[in-house]
A = this chain, B = another copy of it.
Amino acid sequence: MAQCVIRYSSLMSRWQPDAQRRLERAALELFAKQGFADTTVPQIAARAGLTNRTFFRYFADKREVLFTIEAEFPGRVAQVVASAPTSSTPMPIVRYGAVAVAAAWFEDQREYLTLRRAIIQSDDGLKERELSKQAALTQVVTDGFIDLGFGHGASLLSAHLFMTVLGLSVDQWLDDAGRSLVDCVHDTLRVLETVTSDGAD
């Protein structure tokens, strides 16, 4: 474990292409140690052994360091849309997509996501930024469903269902170290099915 850290660090300091990841790691460590509000861009850059100018090449501000994971989301959604089973209704795609994204993307990032969530929850501005990013991602998912040929209303609702299932599952998973994220997604999908299965009026 210690060896991994050392290898990781030496790799970090050697290759300029890893500047972004070095800045992310330095920022996360400082946010956790001294608080988000009290951490400055020069401190982050210094800890990463880089200049402020390099920082601003990768990030618009110190908040943005926490949202690189969401920058990958549109690409992931495109992959899911391309590999989704053919279906005349969107719900099987919601289920398939939530499991696929959970398995491929989040499962190995538990430690990072736990720390990230704690930092975001500590600051109102970060919470607002997180909600704003999620709203943008919901729009990306809506467009994905529209691309698959579903109507506008069904696509909007399916995208909201997808984001809700994924978001609640991630929260549940970060609260309970004993379970996998995919298990939590299956659980949430079961509860959703129970909630929505009663007859309409």
Contact = CB atoms under 8 A, between A and B. Distances in A.
Interface of A: 89-92, 95, 124, 127-129, 131-132, 134-135, 151, 153-154, 156-158, 160-161, 164, 168, 172, 187-198, 200-201
Contacts of A189: 200
Copies in the complex: 2
A157 B188 contact: yes
Chain A binding site: helix, strand, loop or mixed by DSSP? helix
A157 B153 contact: no
Contacts of A154: 191, 194-195
Contacts of A129: 128
Contact of A156 (B131, B160, B161, B168): B168
A129 B92 CA distance: 33
A190 B151 CA distance: 13
Contacts of A135: 127, 131
A186 to B, nearest CB: 10
Given A154-B195, A157-B164, A164-B157, A95 B132 contact: no
